[in-house]
C-alpha cells in the first residue's frame, strides 16, 4: 500500500491530532521548552541538510517522484539515516510532545512512523532497489532506515 500524500502533509496532520489530544491547561516547563527546542532545531536542521544534499546532487527531492532519482544519495545526513527527512519530521512531532510533556501526543508520532514505514518508505525503497540494484542493497546494509537498527 502506497499513499500519494506528501509526507510533510501527513506530519502536519499528525501535529494537528497531537494538538487535539493535549490535556487542556497543560503548559510547558522551562526544561520541556529547552528539550523541545533542542530536538526541534536539530530536526529542522536535518530536514534542511537533506534537501541541500539532494539539490547538490541534482536529483529529485519529491517523495512522490522517487522514480526520477538520478543519483543514489549517500552523503551528508544520508550517512546516518536512509530517511533523514522523515527522521526530521518525526523529530518535530517528538519536540511538540516533549514541549507539553504529553504521552498522548506521542500516539500520532507513532502513527506517522508506522505509516511512513509501511507505505512511503517501502515504496521508495522498492523504486530505489529497482533503479540502483546492488549499490542500494549495499547502502541498506550499512545505513539504518531511521537512526537506530538496520531495518
pLDDT tens by residue, 81-138: 999 999 999 999 999 999 999 889 999 999 999 999 998 999 999 999 999 999 999 9
| Mean pLDDT across 20-24 | 80
Please say if the pLDDT value at position 3 is more than 70: no
Please say if the pLDDT value at position 14 is more than 90: yes
Q: What's the 3-state SS for the chain?
A: CCCCCCHHHHHHHHHHHHHHHCCCCCCCCHHHHHHHHHHHHHHHHHHHHHHHHHHHCCCCCCCCCHHHCCCCCCCHHHHCCCCHHHHHHHHHHHHHHHHCCCCCCHHHHHHHHHHHHHHHHHHHHHHHHHHHCHHHHHHHHHCCCCCCCCC
- Domain ranges for the chain, please list them: 29-142
pLDDT higher at 62 or 26: 62
Residue 106 has what pLDDT?
Answer: 93
Please say if the pLDDT value at position 2 is more than 80: no
Residue 148 has what pLDDT?
Answer: 75
Residue 151 has what pLDDT?
Answer: 54
Amino acid at each position: 500500500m502506497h499513499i500519494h500524500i506528501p509526507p510533510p502533509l501527513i506530519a502536519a496532520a499528525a501535529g494537528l491530532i497531537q494538538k487535539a489530544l493535549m490535556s487542556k491547561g497543560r503548559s510547558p516547563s522551562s526544561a520541556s521548552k529547552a528539550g523541545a527546542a533542542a530536538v526541534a532545531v536539530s530536526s529542522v536542521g536535518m530536514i534542511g541538510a537533506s534537501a541541500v544534499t539532494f539539490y547538490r546532487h541534482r536529483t529529485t527531492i519529491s517523495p512522490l517522484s522517487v522514480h526520477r532519482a538520478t543519483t543514489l544519495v549517500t552523503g551528508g545526513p544520508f550517512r546516518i539515516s536512509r530517511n533523514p527527512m522523515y527522521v526530521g519530521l518525526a523529530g518535530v512531532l517528538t519536540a511538540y510532545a516533549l514541549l507539553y510533556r504529553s504521552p498522548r501526543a506521542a500516539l500520532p508520532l507513532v502513527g506517522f512512523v508506522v505509516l511512513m514505514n509501511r507505505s512511503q518508505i517501502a515504496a521508495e525503497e522498492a523504486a530505489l532497489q529497482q533503479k540502483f540494484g546492488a549499490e542500494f542493497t549495499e547502502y541498506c546494509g550499512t545505513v539504518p532506515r531511521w537512526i537506530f537498527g538496520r531495518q
